[in-house]
Amino acid sequence: MRAAWMSVAAVAAAVTLSACTEKPQTSSQRKSDQAPYATSNGAYTAGTWKEGDSKAWERQLSTRAQNGQNEYSRASAP
């Protein structure tokens, strides 16, 4: 009977401790020392931007900031 409780406790400990393992965090295809415009993720790229083109990257960011994130340009006139 004692061996059965020990095996149940060992299985419970293994299940509990297996939840503590950390999975690798590899959501980015870009290396951390590369410039942000150097690599692309095909699903999220704008149509005019090409990989490695820093000027197009900067234009796209400023356009996005003006059109999509500027509340003054988005607000309707009263």
Please state, in angstroms and rounded to a whole number, the distance separating the CA atoms of residues 56 and 50: 8
- Per-residue confidence (pLDDT) for residue 8, from 0 to 100: 92
Please state, in angstroms and rounded to a whole number, the distance separating the CA atoms of residues 74 and 61: 17
Percent of all residues in the chain with a pLDDT value above 90, rounded to a whole number: 4
Q: Is 0.75 topped by the overall pTM?
A: no
Work out the angle at residue 37's Cα, subtended by the Cα atoms of residues 54 and 46, and round it to the nearest 5 degrees: 90
- Per-residue confidence (pLDDT) for residue 56, from 0 to 100: 82
pLDDT at 21 > cutoff 80: no
